[in-house]
Structure 1
Amino acid sequence: MPQNTLPPEDSQSLDLELRIGPAAHGGHFVARHEGRVVFVRHALPGELVRARLTEAGDKAKFWRADTVEVLEASPHRVEHFWAPADALRAGARGRLPVGGAEFGHIALEEQRRIKAGIFAEQLQRLGGLQREVTVEAAPGEDDGGLGWRTRASFSVAPGGKLAMHPHRSDELIPVQEMPLATGAINSLKLWDVDFTGTDRVEVAAPAVGGAPLVLLVPSPGTHPRTLARIASDIGTAADPGAGETVSVAAWDPESHDLTRLRGRTWVRENAAGHDFRVTGAGFWQIHRSAPLALTSAVRDGLQIQPGERVADLFAGAGLFTAPLADAAGETGHVLSVEGSPGASRDARKNLFSSPQVEVAQGRVDKVLRTREGGFDVVLLDPPRAGAGRTVVEQIDAASPRAIGYISCDPASFARDLAWFREAGWELDALRVFDLYPHTHHMESFAVLRKP
């Protein structure tokens, strides 16, 4: 069986009664059974639970388990808002819950306290720095942490219905809604469409309105007529208004080729007073309020001055490059570096009216290797794996007055921070945002300076 080493039908005899300890990075909580560490999902510190093993073995360093019954509940436990993701309801049926809402059983304020503790622990353990951390709610967060996702990804189950996977499992569970997604995504009613002939469906709906985009990842051998039928059915299934404007394209994740089936192959976003074109599956911040929260944090934290030389690394379609260029002015210079050819093309279109911007497509370390001179300020927004030691050393060699670091993973950030600290940099300011409510994920922005 892929990933899950214990089939659910055999798991009744593999239930453990566990007292839950502290939270761990990755959406787990730590418990112990006869001296062995068990990482338990869907629990809370202090609870006594019955947990069903999902991965175990005599030689394994640790086991994994899902909570299926709560014997002594935490006062911070609430009823999960989404039945398919509720481990207790799934466990009662001998099933696994879908992933993507693993903190949905925790009161929202407690989620943020837990995340703050996890971030602080990663800072201390991997970054060698002890610091108190507070996790801020996203601007305008007024719906109990629901309806924030402007992007959503689904698999396709046999029979053609949208489905999602449980954590670390290849099992497919059909879904009829996505409470974390914006109303613009849910109003497409994609659950009513027969997606037979596709392996995956990606959806993007701009936070500021405008035409949503549905990307179809075809199964091998699917005929173009099948994709055309699906595109037509998407327009028919959607609520009035949404169906008139929705765009559909076929997407090859390997080649990144896009084939227009309906409408256009991109969405229009807006942030910091700029319009942005984001093509296909190009990266954009997922939470509807994330662009506002992060561009404001960058502006306030870095205080770019007219005439300064700025590098925006892992720059994507230009979300941060545009306001950096505004601050640097026509006498400044902003280098935008992005590895994805598609995102880099979008950046060129989005920033064509800013002559002080230079867009360079390529791996960040390779581009920086060819640069002479330094920068006054460097901003980096690396993927979940972080920047890595080579890029850290290259940034240090550029001798900026300040470094801004945006991160979606506290572990990789803390590791990179340790390397920056070895080079003499200090953590000046840190803000952590709850841009992924009801999940274990969080986003941070840090400002580093040398004494």
Structure 2
Amino acid sequence: MSRGQQRRPRRPQPKGESRVGQRFDAEVGPVAHGGHCIVRLPEPESRVVFTRHAIPGERVVVEITEGTDGDRFWRGDAVEVLEASSDRVAAPCPVAGPGLCGGCDFQHVAVPAQRDLKAAVVREQLVRLARLDDDDPLVSGLVVEQVPGDADGLRWRTRTQFVTNRDGQRGLRKHRSHDVVPVEDCLITIEDAPVPTTRTVTAAGQTHEFSLADDGFWQVHPGAPTVLVETILEQLDPQPGESVLDLYAGVGLFARFLADRVGEGARIVAVEGDHEATRHAQLNLGGFERARAAVGSVDKVLESSYDEPFDLVVLDPPREGARAAVVRQIADRAPRAVSYVACDPAALARDVKTFAECGYRLQALRAFDLFPMTHHVECVALFVRA
């Protein structure tokens, strides 16, 4: 699987009578991680229903889409709005809504309010999983920042993987389903966007061209490379001569810009699991005598290689996060600062806790709306030795 992809969930075995299709009037509770809100049904059902297409504070009719009498929680859709939030808008896409395309979670929410919902999710994960205080300024003051490159939340995705139905129509899948919804025009996609094998990035006053494979990983939001590079440089404040370890390095985007700051004589190691991406990373780091691109699973590479101290570490792991083994290997190299790019707030929160156990505290945190209309959010966290 490529970075950011997830396996489709396997359906659980039925644990009693199905409740699919039943409807309930309900008050909508807080937003939860995953693009839904929490609805608590009173007795006799006494269930939490993770409900899509709702907004906190609304009163809606929830239709159960997954759930049996024996399940701890159910899933549902808000199929009718009885009392609407002031943040509710008409979805711009005709196939966004209950029972339709599963690609977007928040088209029914005004774009600024979408960012507020995402910030609430990040804060909740940090408090619940990382055990941070909810009055910690890094938590309470977190906002999700707009990134240039989209049109009010639309037309930002430079690459979209469509599927076809039995009639040969192009489409996208329903939420948690193999069923295909025909889509003539995906409004978050930049239609007919070229997929070049080189990408040019300008950040922090420098411009570099990066080579990559035809199907290689690259951020899909046009503004992502610049904002992520500049945030990492701001957080790490690299100095000439400092050594750099870039983990899950892809084609070397972050390593290349860090190399500008630390200089040609500095030690730079980029570790990436994909062979083709590693080959391109070595090309993109050409000209730096002590720069190396190593291929292999990050945890395995760190177990056996590059065990000397590094001044700076940057990592951009897949959705499941870095996990404890990698975090501990990073701490063993005693960097003065670590910049962590996270595409999943729950995984980030778990790793924040592990970093704390290894003597590194969270010093700075920013969040960016790189995936408008969806529940996804990108965070960049700075860790320093406590």
Provide closer, same or farther for how the CA distance between residues 11 and 163 of structure 1 changes in structure 2, counting only shifts above 3 A: farther
Long gaps (5+) in structure 1: 88-95, 189-204, 206-211, 214-265
Match for 2:349 among 401, 404, 414? Answer: 414
**What does residue 124 of structure 1 align with?**
127
Aligned equivalent of 2:29: 21
Deviation, structure 1 residue 287: 0.7
Partner-residue secondary structure (3-state), 1:179: coil
The 3 A distance-change label for structure 1 pair 432 and 13 is closer
Equivalent residues of 1:23, 1:30 under 8 A apart: yes
Determine which of 296, 302, 307 is the counterpart of 1:372.
307
Superimposed CA distance per residue, residues 237-289 of structure 1 (whole angstroms, 9 cap, x where no aligned partner)? xxxxxxxxxxxxxxxxxxxxxxxxxxxxx622111311112213211111110
How high is the TM-score relative to the length of structure 1?
A: 0.77
C-alpha separation between the residues in 2 aligned to 1:70 and 1:420?
43
Q: Are positions 1:398 and 2:333 aligned together?
A: yes
Equivalence for 2:271: 337
Instruction: Report SS of the residue matched to 1:84.
Output: coil
* Contact 2:19 2:67 (8 Å CA) reproduced: no
- Stretches of structure 2 that go unaligned for 5 or more consecutive residues are 1-9, 134-138
Q: TM-score by structure 2 length?
A: 0.90
Given that 1:325 and 1:356 are in contact with CA atoms closer than 8 Å, whether structure 2 keeps it comes out as no
Greater relative contact order (Cα < 8 A, sep 6+) = 2
Secondary structure at 1:152's aligned position in 2?
coil
Residue 63 of structure 2 corresponds to residue 60 of structure 1: no
Note if contact 1:23-1:118 (Cα within 8 Å) is conserved in structure 2.
Answer: yes
Alignment of 1:307-346 (within 5 A): 307-346=241-280
Q: Where does residue 144 of structure 1 map in the other structure? A: 152
Residues 363-394 of structure 1 show CA distances to partners (whole Å, capped at 9, x for unaligned) of 11121122231100011100000001110100
Amino acid at match of 1:30: I
CA–CA separation in structure 1 for the residues paired with 2:128 and 2:19: 35
Match of 2:117 in 1: 114
AA at the equivalent of 2:110: A
Residues 1:76 and 2:87 aligned together: yes
Measure how far apart 1:346 and its partner are. Answer: 1.7
Note if contact 2:19-2:68 (Cα within 8 Å) is conserved in structure 1. Answer: no
Counterpart residue type for residue 66 of structure 1: D
Distance 2:170 2:273 in 1: 31
The 3 A distance-change label for structure 1 pair 153 and 137 is: same
Pairwise CA distance, 1:353: 2.8
Bigger fraction of residues in helix: 1
Q: Does 1:268 align with 2:277?
A: no
CA distance in 1 between counterparts of 2:94 and 2:101 reads 9
Q: Distance in 2 between matches of 1:13 and 1:389?
A: 41
After superposition, the C-alpha distances for 1:123-161 in whole angstroms (9 at most, x for unaligned) are 0100011322111111355x2111111111111111222
Match of 2:281 in 1: 347
SS at match of 2:95: helix
Q: Using the alignment, how far apart are the partners of 1:400 and 1:66 within structure 2?
A: 46
**Match of residue 363 from structure 2:** 428
Partner of 1:223: none
Between the aligned partners of 1:430 and 1:60, the Cα distance in structure 2 is 37
Q: Match for 2:161: what amino acid?
A: S
The structure 2 residue matched to 1:178, chosen from 157, 177, 186, is 186
1 CA distance for matches of 2:34 and 2:149? 26
Match runs of 1:293-312 below 5 Å: 293-312=227-246
Identity across matched positions, percent = 43
